[in-house]
Amino acid sequence: MGHFLLRHQTPMLLAVLLVLIAGATSLSSNEALQVTLTEMFIRVIVVVGLYVFIGNSGIISFGHIGFMCIGAYAAAWATAEPSFKQIMLSGLPAFLQEHQYPFLVATAGALLLAMAVAFVLGLAIMRLSGTAASIATFAFLIIVNSVYSNWDSLTAGVSSIIGIPTVVGSFTAYAFAALAILVAYLFQISRFGLMLRASRDDEVAARASAVKIMRVRLAAFVLSAGLVGIGGGLYAQFLGILTVDPFYLNLSFITIAMLVVGGMASLSGAVVGVVAVTAIVEILRLFERGVPIGGASLGLPQGSQEIGLGIVMALILIFRPNGLSRGREFAHFAGAPLPAPSTAAPVAPPASAPAARPEGIPITDERKAIV
């Protein structure tokens, strides 16, 4: 049992990391901070979902926020006020229009609809490789955006869907984030994860090893879309009001940036990336609002948040091209799956890691022995 826990400590350490951050923020009674925290947990779900596909297959997807949009609207259809739905969303089928479903049903709907769309889309896109596949996912994002902005009878077009019960708080979001981490981890250590990573390293050799590349890619694509769809479903039930706008380029790029900054070759990187980028953005926002120093208030001009984030990201990538995690997984306790004696030496944690990270967690790797 002890051995089992040591072997699989990575997802637990990541879950603990998020708890520690939640604990640290709860010390302040700042309500805005609680909102930020919930939003961060939802982004953990989305970015971990992205990682399941991008990290394991090596194919960048620009389209996953489309699945978030699909999940969010699915949840909204299930939970919004029937009176609102009957007037504004007249195109909805009766079972959605006339009823209001509980949180879990709505979230399951978000999961299933995103997965179903990903399956159909994946049948076409997973035949492509590399850049071609990435461009196709981008096209998908644009299609989703156009459809959801214009299908007035289902999505209320460019106006909002209101009356969604705001049942998602930081605790619920955390629970789902931990679940997403666990699912991603189980996929990564599964046969499918193994075969998919082989195809990432060398597609030709993977085919010679009897790997059915399209099938393993499709499995990862559908699973990752499901996680991102859940993220969307939670987001809708966190905001209470839904429009199409947030599910487009900005969010696509910020989530991909989170994955890249954290290190897209590891699950730890996906989680750390969300935490780090969120921390940077919050600090810059703080300065934009103005920080009182002595009697005066020091404030950065509007827009410096975006510029600052860009600069910090560029610096991280210059000094850590493989992201903060260097593409490795967290492993703190000795006896962890250390591949070889020579890899046992713990590597110091990244200096630029977010402040909330517990000190002294060395990073070693169970998959990628650096020799």
Partner 1 sequence: MIEPYVEPAAPGVDRGLTNASELAADKLVVRFQGLAAISDVSLKVQRHEVFGLIGPNGAGKTTLVNCLTGFQRPTEGRIILGGGDTAGWSASRFREQGVARTFQAGRLFKDMTVMENVEVTAAGLGASLRSARKHAKAMLGWIGLADKAALHAGALAYTDQRRLGIARALVLSPAFILLDEPAAGMSDAECEDLMELVASIPRTFTCGVLLIEHNMRVVMGISQRIHVLDGGRTIAEGTPDEIQRHEAVLAAYLGMEA
**Binding residues vs partner 1 (CB under 8 A):** 189-191, 194-195, 197-198, 200-202, 204-213, 265, 339-340, 343, 367-371
Cβ of residue 350: shortest distance to partner 1, in angstroms?
Answer: 20
**285 versus 368: smaller Cβ distance to partner 1:** 368
**DSSP class of 253:** H
**43 versus 320: smaller Cβ distance to partner 1:** 320
CB 81 within 8 A of CB 166: no
**191 versus 289: smaller Cβ distance to partner 1:** 191
CB 164 within 8 A of CB 80: yes
**201 versus 359: smaller Cβ distance to partner 1:** 201
**134 versus 188: smaller Cβ distance to partner 1:** 188
CB 86 within 8 A of CB 77: no
User: Residue 232: in which H helix or E strand, if any?
Assistant: helix 213-239
Cβ of residue 199: shortest distance to partner 1, in angstroms?
Answer: 9
**239 versus 365: smaller Cβ distance to partner 1:** 365
User: Residue 205: in which H helix or E strand, if any?
Assistant: helix 203-208
Cβ of residue 208: shortest distance to partner 1, in angstroms?
Answer: 5
Cβ of residue 221: shortest distance to partner 1, in angstroms?
Answer: 18
CB 327 within 8 A of CB 290: no
**152 versus 203: smaller Cβ distance to partner 1:** 203
**107 versus 266: smaller Cβ distance to partner 1:** 266
SS3 292: strand
CA distance 313 to 365: 24
A 10 A CB-CB count for 179 gives: 15
Q: What is the CA radius of gyration of the chain?
A: 21
Cβ of residue 135: shortest distance to partner 1, in angstroms?
Answer: 24
CB 181 within 8 A of CB 11: yes
Cβ of residue 160: shortest distance to partner 1, in angstroms?
Answer: 45
- Identify the burial level of 98 via C-beta atoms within 10 angstroms of its C-beta, where 0-12 means exposed, 13-18 middle and 19 or more buried: exposed
Q: Which stretches of the chain are assigned E, i.e. beta strand?
A: 291-293, 296-298
**184 versus 230: smaller Cβ distance to partner 1:** 184
Cβ of residue 341: shortest distance to partner 1, in angstroms?
Answer: 9
Cβ of residue 211: shortest distance to partner 1, in angstroms?
Answer: 4
* Residue 88 CB partners (closer than 8 Å, separation 6+): 156, 159, 161
Q: Which stretches of 269-330 are assigned E, i.e. beta strand?
A: 291-293, 296-298
Give the orientation angle of helix 64-79 with respect to helix 130-150, to 10 degrees: 30
Cβ of residue 275: shortest distance to partner 1, in angstroms?
Answer: 25
Using alpha carbons, list the distances in angstroms from residue 284 to 23, 291, 303, 305: 22, 11, 10, 5
- The residues that bridge with 363 in the sheet, in sequence order, are 330, 347
CA distance 30 to 24: 12
**34 versus 343: smaller Cβ distance to partner 1:** 343
Cβ of residue 80: shortest distance to partner 1, in angstroms?
Answer: 44
